[in-house]
């Protein structure tokens, strides 16, 4: 009897990081065949991130083109994934999160009546347009999913409120924490050994923050730096030219600012660990930083990851310059406030999410495999 062929779909750097531990987990078992399929929605950063885990795509659709629109990405990804699923006889499709690639993987699987398993399911905000287009993508993927893998009880509750069958929902923790733990064990990257003081890490790239909001973010970061003489501000710059233009204009001439190229994941995890404080609009960093004991100020007005805020490991500060500056300086100058955030146990996972995904997916296929303790 042929082994079931499972398709794991990635298209962007965050997906690569969060899907990699799952692929590695499934490849420990010879009862299934795995294919790692890349849409190529992002190019260099995707391949770079997979390589950290010793992985490369088995199939690369290469859909990325310069100046691509969401419509073009969607049409090319849907066509390419549909063709691949049919030609390769994919028996089950796995995708993570909320990208256009994930949406297209779910839709292609639905059209072909292939079971679709949604990793990191159930994240929600109050508006289908925030974040854009991610909120739509994850809701749409959830409509057709056969199995839902929410990272937390909160995410599971969102799925139940939408009428999803409880038997299809399995809380796993976040596979991103699995990835962080793998890197912490293996990376030897040493950031800024010549700088004895603190490091503030800033990452910003979201569509809704482009333009004036990003200018306020960068200006606030510069103000915090001016009032913290021992600090070094490190800013990995997203490859979007609109992001780079703002960051270079406002921060590029400061002697204690380091505008750097996006490091690969093997180096980025130690950079987060080196930081005393992290300012970010990234969803993944919101999850990863608490696992490393690093306080996070979230540069967004809403978040689909409220568990960190509720636990006290993160604060929503939006893009208001005054608020960002005030909250950052408070944490950098108030040891008790800093310590309270630093000591919060990560609400996002225990490093065994991939094992739980593997257990429930194989069980659904009628294949026995070792169990794991529940999460959440």
Catalytic residues: 98, 120, 134, 205, 207, 238
CA separation for the pair 36, 9 (Å, rounded)? 6
Residue showing tokens 């912490």: 184
The full 3-state SS of the chain, as one line of letters, equals: CCCCEEEEEECCHHHHHHHHHHHHHHCCCCCCEEEEEECCCCCHHHHHHHHHCCCCCCEECCCCCCCCCHHHHHHHHHHHHHHHHHHHCCCEEEEECCCHHHHHHHHHHHHCCCCEEEECCCCCCCCCCCCCCHHHHHHHHHHHCCEEECCCHHHHHHHHHCCCCHHHECCCCCHHHHHHHHHHHHCCCCCCCCCCCCEEEEECCCHHHCCHHHHHHHHHHHHHHHCCCCCEEEEECCCCHHHHHHHHHHHCCCCCEEEECCCCHHHHHHHHHHCCEEEECCHHHHHHHHHCCCCEEECCCCCCCHHHHHHCCEEECCCCHHHHHHHHHHHHHCHHHHHHHHCCCCCCCCCCHHHHHHHHHHHHCCCCCCCCCCCC
Do the Cβ atoms of 217 and 324 come closer than 8 Å?
yes
CA separation for the pair 366, 368 (Å, rounded)? 7
CA separation for the pair 147, 364 (Å, rounded)? 9
Sign of the torsion formed by the C-alpha atoms of 318, 248, 49 and 133: positive
User: Measured in Å, how far apart are the chain's first and last C-alpha atoms?
Assistant: 37
- Which positions ≥6 away from 232 have C-beta within 8 Å? 192, 195, 197, 198, 199, 200, 256, 257, 258
């Amino acid at each position: 009897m042929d082994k079931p062929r499972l398709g794991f779909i990635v298209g962007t750097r965050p997906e690569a990081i969060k899907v990699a531990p799952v692929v590695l987990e499934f490849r420990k078992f010879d009862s299934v065949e795995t294919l790692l399929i890349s849409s190529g929605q992002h190019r260099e950063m995707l391949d770079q991130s997979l390589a950290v885990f010793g992985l490369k795509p088995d199939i690369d659709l290469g859909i990325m083109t310069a100046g691509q629109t969401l419509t073009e990405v969607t049409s090319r990804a849907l066509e390419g994934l549909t063709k691949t699923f049919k030609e390769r006889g994919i028996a089950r499709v796995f995708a993570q999160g909320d990208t256009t690639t994930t949406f297209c993987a779910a839709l292609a699987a639905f059209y072909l009546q292939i079971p679709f398993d949604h990793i990191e399911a159930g994240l929600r905000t109050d508006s289908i347009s925030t974040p854009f287009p991610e909120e739509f993508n994850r809701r749409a993927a959830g409509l057709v999913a056969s199995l839902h893998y929410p990272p937390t009880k909160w995410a599971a509750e969102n799925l139940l409120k939408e009428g999803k069958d409880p038997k299809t929902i399995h809380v796993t923790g976040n596979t991103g924490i699995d990835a962080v733990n793998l890197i912490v064990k293996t990376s030897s990257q040493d950031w800024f050994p010549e700088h004895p003081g603190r490091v503030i890490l800033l990452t910003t790239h979201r569509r809704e923050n482009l333009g004036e909001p990003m200018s306020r973010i960068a200006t606030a970061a510069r103000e915090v730096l001016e009032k913290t003489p021992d600090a070094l501000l490190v800013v990995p710059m997203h490859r979007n030219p609109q992001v780079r233009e703002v960051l270079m204009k406002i921060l590029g001439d400061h002697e204690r600012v380091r505008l750097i190229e996006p490091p690969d994941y093997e180096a980025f995890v130690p950079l987060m660990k080196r930081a005393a404080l992290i300012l970010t609009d990234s969803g993944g960093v919101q999850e990863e930083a608490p696992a490393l004991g690093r306080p996070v100020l979230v540069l967004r007005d809403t978040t689909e990851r409220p568990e960190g805020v509720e636990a006290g490991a993160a604060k929503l500060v939006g893009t208001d310059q005054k608020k960002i500056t005030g909250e950052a300086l408070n944490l950098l100058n108030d040891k008790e406030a800093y310590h309270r955030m630093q000591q919060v146990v990560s609400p996002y996972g225990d490093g065994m999410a991939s094992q739980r995904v593997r257990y429930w997916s194989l069980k659904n296929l009628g294949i026995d495999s070792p169990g794991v303790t529940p999460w959440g």
